[in-house]
Amino acid sequence: MRYDADMVEPQVEPVRLEVNGIERRLFVAPHRTLLETLREDLGLTGTKHGCELGECGACTVLVDGVAVLSCLALTLDADGAEIVTIEGIGSVSHPHPLQRSFADHGAAQCGYCTPAMILTAKALLDRDPHPTDREITEAIAGNMCRCTGYLPIVRAIAAVAAEDRP
Ligand code: FES
Ligand code: FES
């Protein structure tokens, strides 16, 4: 019997995400990753595509407040979740304190790791507003940076942690 791919119904399922405070309803294939959905379906390219193996951390986003590697997460598993990407935490005119501090401390050079670093740092500061340098270093251990040598990143996060914020 002849197999005709065009005759096969695409297998997609509905999913509802709240992305940066906006409800998004989509139909996605079961194998579609959250990284693919964010970048390719929703156009949120601030989330970076790196190794796709869970090794570089560049694809980190927040899912219900937890830093998650979106290349390893299936979109369907995020049904009903609140997703935060770098586009959702600040803007050029109103940067998040971490974005401002990264700029002030030279913690972003090529910038490829920066969205994930900032979101990882945000997850840390949300659960522990005043971490030690060691705790900061441990929190970003899964995020690779090939440019900065990491010290400016730790300093940038520590500077925000030292601020007297609500
Ligand atoms: S792209 Fe996800 S960990 Fe590298
Ligand atoms: S600033 Fe280039 S990889 Fe981190």
* 47 backbone dihedrals φ, ψ, rounded to 5°: -75, 120
Ligand nearest to the CA of 142: 1
Strand partners, 84: 62
Counting the structural domains of the chain, the total is 2
How does pLDDT run across 30-85, given as a tens digit for each residue? 999 999 999 999 999 999 999 999 999 999 999 999 999 999 999 999 999 999 99
**Domain end point (choices 29, 53, 88):** 88
How does pLDDT run across 114-157, given as a tens digit for each residue? 999 999 999 999 999 999 999 999 999 999 999 999 999 999 99
CATH code of 147's domain: 1.10.150.120
Check the CA dihedral 19-79-66-54 and report its sign.
negative
Can you tell me which atom of ligand 1 is nearest the CA of 57? Answer: 3
**Domain end point (choices 59, 88, 117):** 88
Q: How far is the CA of 125 from the centre of ligand 1 (A)?
A: 22
Range(s) of the domain holding residue 30: 5-88
**Does 69 sit in the ligand 1 pocket, CB within 6 Å?**
yes
**Domain end point (choices 69, 88, 107):** 88
Residue of the CA atom closest to atom 4 of ligand 2: 145
Q: How many residues does the chain have?
A: 166
Looking at the fold, whether 75 and 133 belong to one and the same domain comes out as no
* 50 backbone dihedrals φ, ψ, rounded to 5°: -110, -110
Looking at the fold, whether 102 and 139 belong to one and the same domain comes out as yes
pTM score: 0.92
How does pLDDT run across 77-99, given as a tens digit for each residue? 999 999 999 999 999 899 999 99
DSSP letters spanning 141-156: TT---SSS-SHHHHHH
